[in-house]
Every structure is written in structure tokens, then in C-alpha cells.
Amino acid sequence: MKGNRTNGNRSNIPQIVCPEVRQEVLEAIAVFPAKIRGLREAQGLSLREAAEDMGMNKQSIGQYEQGINFPDARRLLTIACYYGVSLDWLFGREF
């Protein structure tokens, strides 16, 4: 199952949401790549090691870290559980 391609184009975010919510979603998506890369590097893991541990391929993880692709809900949960963080933290929403 592949994540949603963003290719730098955020048009896949519905236009029907209010501007404030849309902006919050865009900001959360922008934070995600750096968060997952930072977690992997802090644990001294290669892309291959992290991907194998999570049952994904290293190309997918690399694309998530570069912001090229975005994981689906199942993979988001897998990433959060693997690193022991919340989805809110992954998206920069620290309360």
C-alpha cells in the first residue's frame, strides 16, 4: 500500500476545510519529515534498519523523510508506535 504522493503540491488537502484548519494541516505535514528523520538518526539507525523493523522498504521511509510521499494511516501508526511517540508529536502538535 503506497502513501499519498504530495510532490510538493498540497492540492490533495480538501478545499472545503476552513482556511485556519487547512493552514494547520499544511504546517503539520511540513514538520513530519524532519521529525521522523530526527528520531531515526537519534537512535543511530540506517534507513534499511528502520524500514526492516517496521516492515516497510527503505525507499518509502526515505521518501517520507524527504517529504516526497506521505504515509497512510496504518503506516503512520506503525511509525509512531515504533519510535514510542504520539501522532500529535510527529506532527508538531505538542500540548
Record: fold of 4-90? 434 Repressor (Amino-terminal Domain) (1.10.260)
Q: Is 20 exposed, middle or buried (0-12, 13-18, 19+ CB in 10 A)?
A: exposed
Quick check: pTM over 0.75?
yes
Q: Residue 5: enclosing H or E segment and its boundaries? A: strand 4-5
Q: What residue segments make up the domains of the chain, in order of their start? A: 4-90
pLDDT digits (tens, 9 = 90+) for 69-93: 999 999 999 999 999 999 999 999 8
Q: What is the pLDDT of residues 32-48, one digit of tens each?
A: 999 999 999 999 999 99
